Amino acid sequence: MLRLNCVVSITNLFKMKKIAPWIPPRLMVAVGTLVSVNVAFALVTLYPTQGSLAWFDRAATSYVIHISVDGLGASYLQNMLNDASNPLPNFKKLRDEGAWTMNARTDYDYTITLPNHTGMLTGRPVNDKNGVANSGHHWATNITPPAGTTLQGSAGYAIASVFDVAHSNGLRTGLYATKEKFVLFKDSYAANIDAYANYDLDATLMMNDFLANMNANPTHYTFVHFNDTDTAGHASGWGSAPYIAAAKKVDGHLGQIFSLIQAKPQMQGKTKIILSTDHGGVDLGHGDQTVAVNYTIPMFIWGEGIAANSNLYTLNGSATQDPGNGRPQLANNVAQPIRNGDGGNCALRMLGLSTIPGSLMANLYAPCGVSAPTQPAANGFSAGATWKYLDNGSNAGTTWREANFNDAAWASGPAPLGYGDPVSTTINSGPANAFFITAYFRRTFVVTNAAEIGAAALQLRRDDGAVVYLNNIEVARSNMPAGAIAFNTLASVVVGNDDEKAFNSVVIPVSSFVTGTNIIAVEVHQQSQTSSDLVFDLALTYTRTVNAQATATPTATPTASPTARASTSTPTPTPPANATATPTPTATPTSTGSNQPRDKFVFMPLIWQAKP
């Protein structure tokens, strides 16, 4: 750079002397020096060599380590954290010093490894959503793909990733995995992944490479995958003793990561950790996406400025809504839970960058250092709410749907309600082989200003059929015949298998709401009197325009955990001594939110070429 600096200075002086010989020499020297300094600074900023960004403070966060602990079910982790006999000091560090939830969600349609990890890295669901073609990534298989297979080639259209956005903005990226099938991501984004290691089912070897490379030249965005809990779950069962031992092993690796951050001055106070998973599990598997222990997952965010031991939903404000026991569809008219697919865009926001082009999951704001835009805020109630119910087989007529109906004599309990299937509240079924056809459910909720409501939808789980009324107006009918409905009207068809577990999304008219107390009433009907099960649950979401901003409360810099093990692996290779850097122009990076880089220059990746 110094040699280039001198050349620029001398060249400018000669040009100025030739073009304008009347300029005094002292002024010419001053102008030439100023031009030289400006050019040198711009070149350093535009074309950084490897490691040159370490001293340049682009944003409050310089490094993000995005971790996936494969198969880490929320309920099992919560039990281990509550059990003093199973110490997990580094998971506890994430919880006690960061923001967290045990009620995040996977992809709506799949609870298997590759589809969910693809969502984490691209911000896309598996299937198209909101009626938009090509909005999903469409990778639905869970086997190691043939060499050279890419997400883009499989889908037939461009699928951007967190690696693309970070790398095109001059940052270095890394991918460290412990399943052979993750070669899919290496092959899909090879040009934008600077450091890569994949040791099938061997997290120790993977961590050796990770620690060596991060000590030598840390990547700014790094995705790290641990297989251990998933492997133990498939072999011995989720929640088994080997599963707990696998979680402890991962906890030890987290300690190594904490020690790395504490030991490197350039990473201290400037590194964030995002930790989540692809799915939970039960018994020996996790393939049923409608089972709560499969789709209910943890998420942690740790680092400087994150409020200690805070609820991730509370910290994120109204941009997301805790789904309770529900499984909300990914849709514009449904309040969204925090999903594992939000992690990639959260990492980019932490780094002061824009979100992934084409992504649909970008609902984390304040925990990622930015303010949420003014947007429709979610209101209503989640699945698992408490309902009043009548289960005596009587004909309730129509007055039970009205706001002034006296339901004081009705029983109450949390959803799901029913019998014959796993439920939270068991209701009276009636005599065997002469089961009651209809059960009635009511609950109230308050709307502060009905005129503000812009859209509304409900998520209905029913076995077999149901009719839903809002303020005595029918707003939804599912698996019920047309025409008048009586107390002994049978549902249209028998509901079973996945359909009886599914939540059906229904858009409802906003004109049905009133300011003040609203009453929602549901009648659930059996298809026959010999049907042995009935299930009901419902979530209601309506949106109104408010500012969804939430702000994190800064906390003290987290302390270190156990010292990292020494690594014997080879660091990421550096360019040869006889190489020169040739910049390849890319698009100017953009930024969203308040966590914006201080520099305003275009950052460009380098292609190393040997001198002739």
Residue 574 has pLDDT above 70, yes or no: no
Average pLDDT, the chain: 82
pTM above 0.75, yes or no: no
Q: What is the pLDDT of residues 313-334, one digit of tens each?
A: 999 988 899 998 889 999 876 7
Q: Is the pLDDT of residue 416 over 70?
A: yes
The mean pLDDT value for 493-514 works out to 86
The stretch 136-158 carries a mean pLDDT of: 94
Bigger pLDDT: 58 vs 309 = 309
pLDDT surpasses 50 at 173: yes
How far, in Å, CA of 474 to CA of 476, rounded?
A: 6
Whether pLDDT at 349 is above 80: yes
Give every CB contact of residue 568 below 8 A, 6+ residues apart in sequence: 208, 212
Taking 70 as the threshold, does the pLDDT of residue 9 lie above it? no
Tens-digit pLDDT profile for residues 242-273: 999 999 999 999 999 999 999 999 999 999 99
Lowest mean pLDDT among 310-314, 419-423, 482-486: 419-423
Question: What's 250-308 look like in SS3?
Answer: HHHHHHHHHHHHHHCCCCCCCEEEEEECCCCCECCECCCCCCHHHHEEEEEEEECCCCC
Q: Is 70 exceeded by the pLDDT of residue 374?
A: no
Question: Does residue 575 have a pLDDT over 70?
Answer: no
**Does pLDDT of 305 surpass 80?**
yes
Least confident segment among 232-241, 543-552, 572-581, 600-609: 600-609
Q: What pLDDT is stored for residue 571 in this prediction?
A: 37
- Assess whether pLDDT exceeds 50 at residue 40: no
Q: Output the pLDDT for position 413.
A: 94
C-alpha span between 201 and 357 (Å, rounded): 32
DSSP state of 536: E
Spatial distance between the Cα atoms of 95 and 421, rounded to a whole number of angstroms: 34
